[in-house]
Every structure is written in C-alpha cells, then in structure tokens.
Chain A
Amino acid sequence: MFDSIIDPTVGPATTSADGRAELAPRPGSLSGLRLGLLANTKRNAEMFLEEVGKQLAEHYGVQPVLAAKKPNIVETAPEPIMAELGAQCDIVVTGVGDCGSCSASAVADGLLLEQAGIPSVVICSDAFTVSADAMADLRGAPGYRYVTTAHPVANLTPDGVRARAAQAVPQIVALLTQPVMAASA
C-alpha cells in the first residue's frame, strides 16, 4: 500500500557479507605460536594486552613478537599494521573495546584478521556488547564470540588492569583454540 514511500536506508554500497564471514581455523595448541597484540588508544588498553601477552607466554608457551597500536579508535587498523601482524604473527589479541565506537571497531579488526587466516580474539568491556554484536552482524559474522571484561577499564589502577587481564586469559585461550561462533547463531 505504501510502495511509493522511498526507503531512506537504501544506500549505494554495503559490505554486509552475503552469508557468513570466514574465520581462521583454530590451532590445537598455542605452544610456540607467535603472538601479536593490537591495542587501541583507550586508556589502559596497551597495559591490558601486555599483561595478556605475558601470561600467555608464561603459561601457554606463546611467543609475543609484536605489539601494535592503531592510531584511531573508530576505524579499523590501517593496512600497514594489518600486513605486519599478518606477516609476523600466528595469533592476535586485540582491544580493549571500552567505548561506543571502539568496541565495534575492535570486532571489525578481529574479523579482518580472521579473514586473513589469523585466529584472533577481541576483548570488549561488557557495557558495549550491543555495539560489538551489531558490528559482527554488519560484517557477516552474527554470533561472533569475543571476550568481555567488566566496564570500565579506563579508570583501573595498574594492579587492577593486571588482575583483569589475568581473569580474561582462560577465555582468550578458549577462543583461540576452539570454534568462535555461538552454536545457535
């Protein structure tokens, strides 16, 4: 009945994938794998990832080889950083998505790395799961699983950050070694 009404949402292009995005196959064990860390510019993000790297090295035999920081929290990491991660790393941990735009953007980074064949884990704070999930949908990966940590992260003391990172490690290991789509999605 209202066929003459213009749909204002129809744009020229969308990257929403037809069907599901491809994720990288998971390794059975993390031992000996080269780890990349991709931080955003949010306060405490680098320290969080650094601690994750330390713990993964100590308890799982991972070798941290590269710590990168992307310049803009909104956009995905620039191509040179992605290429470097792709060339030097077997697995990547990225985050911390702790704001409206950076949580979605962290998920986008994770999915781009997955598509490049690198098993990756995204860390977001639990206040921003809706925008993280919305980005996963937009990128053709509904049900994409990531690790959550309690919000906020930015105001934690260094000890608080390290404790949080330690808490996240078992989930990070699980997502690096097991399937990363929710079964029901």
Chain B
Amino acid sequence: MTTSATDPVVQAKAAIEYCYAQGWTDGLPVVPATASDVEACLATVGRDPAEIVGSQPHLGRSVTVAQAAANAIMAGCKPEYFPVVLAAWQAVCQERASRGAWQSTSGPAPLIVVNGPVRSRLGINYAGGVFGPGFRANATIARAIGLIVRNGYGIRPQQLEQATQGLPGRWSVCIGENEEMSPWEPLSVVGGAPLGSDAVSAMLIRTCEYIDNRSTDSAEAVLHDFADTLARLGAYVGGGHSSGGIVFGPEHAQLLGNAGYGRADVQQWLFERAVREPAEMATAGKGEHAEPGRPFAMMPAAQDIPLLVAGAANAAMSMVFRPFGWSAWSRQSVLVNPKEQ
C-alpha cells in the first residue's frame, strides 16, 4: 500500500527535504521553523526580535534575535532552550578567538558550559556521557550555534569556511558542569557570575583528548599525567605558548580536592610542569620560540588553564581540551535571561 501524498508524515518529510534543498542544513535533518515557533522562542527572552546579536563586519553580515530563534528551532531546540542559546551565542561571540574562527583552517568548535539550576530545568546533561549524544538540550543548543554561523553569517564548509579537517563533534559540544561533584566553585563563578545563577561560558576548541588514569591514588601522579598531555608538541602551533584546559571527571577532581588542591593550586602546578625542553621542540621543527637551555612553558599562564568538572564518578578519566588560537578564555560567563535573575 502506498502512503498518500496528503499523509502528514509524507508532508513533514517533504518539508525537511525542502530545507535541505535550500542549503539550510548542516547535513542532518532540521526542524522547519515557522513564525509561531519564532514567536514562542522570543516570548522566553523578552528581547527585540530585530536586535543584532552578532556581526561579521568583513562579510557585511549580522544576525538578529529572531534569526537566532529560527535557527535554534531548526536545530531541534524547544523554545524554552532559547535563553540558553542566546547566552551561549553571546558567550561565543565575546571570545576574541571567535573573530576569524568560522573561516579558519583550524576549524574550531565552541565548548559551551552551562552552570546553575537551568541544567535541571532543561535536562542539560552534566553527568554520565556528558559529551553526548543522547540529550536533546545538550545536542540542540550546540547545534543551534552552528546553524546560526551557517545560515546567519553564510559561512559554509568548503566555501567561506576553510577547515582543513575540522574536529569530531563540531557544533555538538554543550555540557553542564557537574557542580554537585566538583570540589571547586562553578566555572561560571570564575567567569564572574553569582553563585547559584544560571550562566553560560564558552571557549573555542580544536579538540579533546582523554586522560585515563585509574592506576594511582596519588594526586601528584595524576597531575603529572595531565601535565604530560598539556605539553604535547603536536598541539603547539608556534608562538609564545600552546593552550589547554581540562574537563575533569569527578573522580580525578575529588582526588585532587581531597588532597587539598584548590583550582588555583592545580593551575599553578600544571603551569609549572607543562613544559618542554627546547631541544625536543627543535627536533620537531618547532624550536623557533624556545630559548636554548630553558624549559619552555606550554601553557600561557596558570589562570589561563580553564578547569571544570563534568561526567560520572564511575571511572578515573578526564578530558583535556585545546582552546583555539593564542587568546585564552576571557573568563566572562554570560547570565541566562539576566533580567529574571
């Protein structure tokens, strides 16, 4: 039996295909957005739909609140996610590294971190499998940012976007922080937000790489393992330093916390030990900026090693991430719906 052309499923599929044909999708199906969807998003933020929330002056392109809303719906967001999408977009845009990021050969992706009670209200995962997939809010908020870049700025792969390889998980990295299992204050507090508020922080990253260390109960041994990966030569692009941050799994974080390490202590420890010998760097053709005889600090500064906690407390593993470019995280988190907090 053939399905009738007037069948709602047939029509829904045709609408999705229509969006593909317009070049509006990132390769996955989108949810077609209607005027009432956009209205529903706008109702959650109380902002002027025509307000410009991002610009690329060299391309002559700007993005409005209403346009961001249409792309959020297309990404699969529920309207109630929209305040977080807007905060994430602002957080991404205010990072200096984002200025040329979307056209860069490095092909970076935003790492979006959500703090506060909004995690539970929207079902933003911060525990097991935090890097996804499987959680609508995490997946669609991150994807919305990618669609805004694509459709709002008109920056598309192999056109204005020139990523050499990009990275696995581009436009899909939105995580909650596991504040409940962190020995330290939330990342958003580092970013200037009041404790307990809903806030979003963002960085642009080039990749993530795991640290699996279930072999020791020594905080220093584990820190050494992190310093080794942070100092990896491949991630060093040249110039005065490399970059790195860590999403600690709760077990590693608690091991460090129980041994008396505050966030700043961990940052300082890693900054001092994530170093390479100039001779080793020269062997890899990367010795140009190293002073002979003096260990080269791979991290820009102690405070520029962002540290946060996410995931489940079921194995001692963590993730090192690599901020894009040489500008460190701005340490400015963005409040979600600031007028309501």
Contacts and interface: CB of A to CB of B under 8 A. Distances in A.
Interface stretch (B157-165, B210-218, B310-318): B157-165
A178 interface: no
Q: Which of A7, A8, A14, A139: most chain B Cβ within 10 A?
A: A8
B152 A12 contact: no
B159 A101 contact: no
Interface in B118-167: 147, 151-152, 154, 158-163
Interface residues of A, number: 35
B231 interface: no
Contacts of A105: 58
B38 to A, nearest CB: 6
B33 A73 contact: no
Interface residues of B, number: 41
B104 A101 contact: yes
A139 B151 CA distance: 18
A75 B104 contact: no
B37 to A, nearest CB: 8
B29 to A, nearest CB: 13
A135 interface: yes
Which secondary structure dominates where chain A touches chain B?
A: loop
A64 to B, nearest CB: 27
Contact of B35 (A4, A13, A14, A75): A4
B338 to A, nearest CB: 23
A14 B152 CA distance: 11
Interface in B57-73: 57-64, 67, 70-71
A128 B162 contact: yes
B58 A74 contact: yes
Nearest to B50: A12
Interface string B22-50: 10100000001111011000000000001
A123 B11 CA distance: 49
Contact of B160 (A13, A14, A135): A135
A63 interface: no
Interface string A90-128: 000000000111111100100000000000000000001
B33 A8 contact: yes
Contacts of A138: 59-60, 154
Contact of B99 (A14, A72, A131): A72
Interface string A53-87: 00000000000000000001111100000000000
Contacts of A72: 99-100
B5 to A, nearest CB: 11
A2 B152 contact: no
Interface string A5-25: 111111111111000000000
24 contacts: A1-B18, A2-B18, A5-B19, A5-B34, A7-B70, A8-B70, A8-B152, A9-B154, A11-B61, A11-B67, A12-B50, A12-B62, A13-B62, A14-B61, A15-B60, A72-B99, A72-B100, A74-B99, A75-B57, A76-B57, A99-B105, A103-B162, A105-B58, A131-B103
